Amino acid sequence: MKSTLTIVARIEANLDKVELVKTELIKLIEPTRKETGCIQYDLHKDNDNPTVFLFYENWETRDLWQKHMKNDHLKAYMEATEGAVASFTLNEMSRI
pLDDT in tens, 21-79: 999 999 999 999 999 999 999 999 999 999 999 999 999 999 999 999 999 999 999 99
92: which residues sit within 8 A by CB, 6+ positions away? 5, 6, 7, 62
The CATH code of the domain at 5-22+38-91 is: 3.30.70.100
**What does the alpha-carbon distance between residue 22 and residue 28 come to, in Å, rounded to a whole number?**
10
Q: What is the pLDDT of residues 25-39, one digit of tens each?
A: 999 999 999 999 999
pTM of the model: 0.93
pLDDT score, position 1: 52
DSSP 47: S
